[in-house]
Amino acid sequence: MKKSKIRVIAIYGGHAMLAVIAIAIVFMVIFAKRINRTIREDVTADIANELKYCAEAYSRMLYGNASATDFMRDFVVSGEATEEDLIKSLRAIKQTTDCYQVMYVTKDLTAYDYESVKYDLSSVEYAGIFGSAERGFYYTSNDGLKNSEALIIYNPIIDGSGSAVAYVIEFMDINGVVEDLSSTISYGYSFYAIMDSNNEIVTIVGRDQSSEFLLEDLADSIDENMDKGNPSWSVLVDSYIAKGIQKVVHISSANEGRYVINAPVKNAKWNIIAFVSDSYVEYEREQSTAPVRVLMIENGLIVSLVMAVYIVIMIIIFMHTRETKKELEGKAETDLLTGLNNKLTTELKIAEYIRDNPDGQGVFLLIDVDNFKKVNDTMGHAFGDEVLRTLGVKLRSLYRSTDIIGRIGGDEFIVFLRDVKDVTFIVREAKKLETFFEDFKVGEYVKYTVTASLGAAVYSMDGNSFEELYKNADSALYEAKHKGKKQLAFYNANQKDFLKTNAQ
């Protein structure tokens, strides 16, 4: 396969590879954004599921405690139960549940506990719950016993008509509830709240007093920081939390954004609401995406290496192409035998000088080696080539680098002297060439004397184009050969006399 084809394949193949790499980078960026968003959603979904599991477990525990009173219904409604039987039943409930107090309450709100201690509950904070025929779970800030917060499990004993004839109430330590939740829910949840069946926040756990989310202004804080597109706290409560529907929303607080996630404790109609910090979600996301990041970094390094190799290859190809182009341009402009300008380049350069210097002055010297056919016939074509090659070297050494020197075919050469200032210079430079041929010899062992005839025309006296100058210099060359060769002749005799006169 030719080098040019290899370069074309390398260039287009490299461009295709670069396009593939660019597409891969775009897809990697899109993938990174999507996976970050997806994993962030997965983290909050995992938290929601964990919270839901915790709420369901707690719901079963509460309902189990409440169900412990079901066995009392039949003998209470039958009217056969004695006070002693009731106390034994209360004592059994106390031993099998997590309650710190169990009471039997009559319709007039007289109560006694499992130790036969009597109480009057008519004026307690939670007296309003009595009379309901439905089991319920209530929060009270004062249990009327220890003056402490409590979770009250309310169990009405219903007769055949559906009316409550008595009540069994169980008291659970709200702090114990909190501790149970704290041991179940991950520490990463910055804090969480417990909401009772009346949609009132009972307590907030896991936050310090410097937090903007305090019990007394929780709703206001959430409404103030709720992200656009999310419902207000009241709508969130009424439309989702109160209906036992789990919902995940985000708020941007002054200190740090948080995800608000609720989990209904269904049997109790309570809710656990977690406030998960952005930093925790980001930490979980970082842990989850670590392998992906490593893979992307490795892919990025591979892509970078491939791009580096591609760039190096393109630089090498570019440099090689540039050198090849220079080489080809040089060959296109150069006579391969002598190293001088070829015919086309010589003509173009002289024409360019004439175009760019309409008021300039130059000398057009046409050189023709005398009897060159005889040299080839007697000495051989190889020696003839050596004559031409040696002549090219000598001509370059005779004149300035700015002068135009070329071989225009066979044994014919042109020397164009640029920017000639005066007649003296014209005569001196032309004479220098004539003198050179008086002692020009070629050959390593046998020296062969080579002479040449010279015709000269002056720009712009003798012509304003390459064609005119060549024609007139050729006419002068013909005159030199006609007079015996190996001499210099200017375009016309009058001019020659004029030059000689002014040069003396």
At 162, the pLDDT band (50, 70, 90 cuts) reads: confident
411 catalytic? Reply is yes
The fraction of the chain above a pLDDT of 70, given in percent, is 74
307 shares its domain with 448: no
Average pLDDT over residues 255-262: 77
pTM reported for the whole predicted model: 0.48
Average pLDDT over residues 381-400: 89
At 118, the pLDDT band (50, 70, 90 cuts) reads: very high
355 shares its domain with 460: yes
The parent domain of residue 13 ranges over 3-66+281-320
In the predicted structure, residue 366 carries a pLDDT above the cut 90: yes
In the predicted structure, residue 144 carries a pLDDT above the cut 60: yes
In the predicted structure, residue 504 carries a pLDDT above the cut 60: no
Query: Which pLDDT belongs to residue 468?
Result: 93
Q: Among 174-178, 330-334, 422-426, 478-482, which range has the highest average pLDDT?
A: 478-482
Query: Which segment of 182-191, 285-294, 430-439 scores lowest on mean pLDDT?
Result: 182-191
Number of H helices, E strands in the chain: 13, 18
Query: Which segment of 120-124, 238-242, 326-330 scores lowest on mean pLDDT?
Result: 326-330
300 shares its domain with 417: no
Q: What is the dihedral of CA 31, 37, 39, 43, to 10 degrees?
A: 180
Query: Which segment of 31-35, 317-321, 412-416 scores lowest on mean pLDDT?
Result: 31-35
Q: Among 174-188, 311-325, 426-440, which range has the highest average pLDDT?
A: 426-440
410 shares its domain with 470: yes
Average pLDDT over residues 17-31: 61
Average pLDDT over residues 237-252: 77
At 112, the pLDDT band (50, 70, 90 cuts) reads: very high
Query: Which segment of 19-33, 234-248, 441-455 scores lowest on mean pLDDT?
Result: 19-33
Q: Among 11-20, 28-37, 346-355, which range has the highest average pLDDT?
A: 346-355
378 shares its domain with 440: yes
119 within domain boundaries: no
At 17, the pLDDT band (50, 70, 90 cuts) reads: low
Token pair 């060439």 is found at: 433
Query: Which pLDDT belongs to residue 326?
Result: 64
350 shares its domain with 494: yes
Helix axis angle, 466-482 to 343-356, nearest 10°: 120
Query: Which pLDDT belongs to residue 502?
Result: 47
361 shares its domain with 299: no
**Is the distance from CB of 394 to CB of 413 less than 8 angstroms?**
no
285 shares its domain with 371: no
Q: How far apart are CA 65 and CA 68, in angstroms?
A: 5
Average pLDDT over residues 140-163: 88
Pick 66 or 94 by higher pLDDT.
94
475 within domain boundaries: yes
Q: How far apart are CA 156 and CA 168, in angstroms?
A: 6
28 within domain boundaries: yes
289 within domain boundaries: yes
384 shares its domain with 464: yes
| DSSP letter (8 states) at residue 341 | B
Instruction: Determine phi and psi for 6, rounding to 5 degrees.
Output: -60, -40
Query: Which pLDDT belongs to residue 194?
Result: 80
Looking up residue 483, the CATH number of its domain turns out to be: 3.30.70.270
At 11, the pLDDT band (50, 70, 90 cuts) reads: low
Query: Which one of 74, 411, 419, 474 is the catalytic residue?
Result: 411
Provide CB contacts within 8 A for 63, sequence distance 6+: 267, 268
Domain count, the chain: 2
416 shares its domain with 385: yes
Q: What is the average pLDDT score of the chain?
A: 79
